[in-house]
Amino acid sequence: MVPSKRLQPVKRVAESRENDAARELGHSQKRMRDQEAKLDDLRRYHQEYLERFETTARQGMSANQMQEYRVFLEKLDAAIREQEKVVLASKSECVSRKEQWKEKRVRTQALGKVMDRFKSAELKVKEKREQDETDDRSQRGRRD
């Protein structure tokens, strides 16, 4: 079996692994976008709640209401800090998945280049053989 044919299963496996890595990267990017959207929602809700607090405070509120607003804003702040950590972790995972995909892609491309070189060499050998056969036939034809 010619070398280019022997490498085909190896290249198919490499392509499959590259595709799997690309799919994982896509899932990771989606999770990151989802986490960023949650963070944006929390920040927006925090801002809205803060504005509501300020409006209510201007109109007058009891100490108990003020305390409830402050406690809830502190909880929102804590939730935002936690979500920021989740976003950082998802970004880090995304970077890691991208590196894994790049490594798989480089391997697949390298195998493709090796196979192309083998095919080129095999084609040259085949053309040389055909030329030699043509030359042999033409020389036999002259001798007869």
pLDDT in tens, 109-128: 999 999 999 999 999 999 99
Domain range enclosing 76: 9-106
In a domain, 52, yes or no: yes
Question: pLDDT digits over 15-46, tens only?
Answer: 999 999 999 999 999 999 999 999 999 999 99
In a domain, 126, yes or no: no
**HSE-CB of 68 using CA atoms within 13 angstroms:** 8
In a domain, 87, yes or no: yes
In a domain, 1, yes or no: no
Q: What percent helix, strand, coil does the chain show, rounded to 5?
A: 95, 0, 5
Question: pLDDT digits over 35-76, tens only?
Answer: 999 999 999 999 999 999 999 989 988 999 999 999 999 999
Taking the complete model, does pTM exceed 0.85, yes or no?
A: no
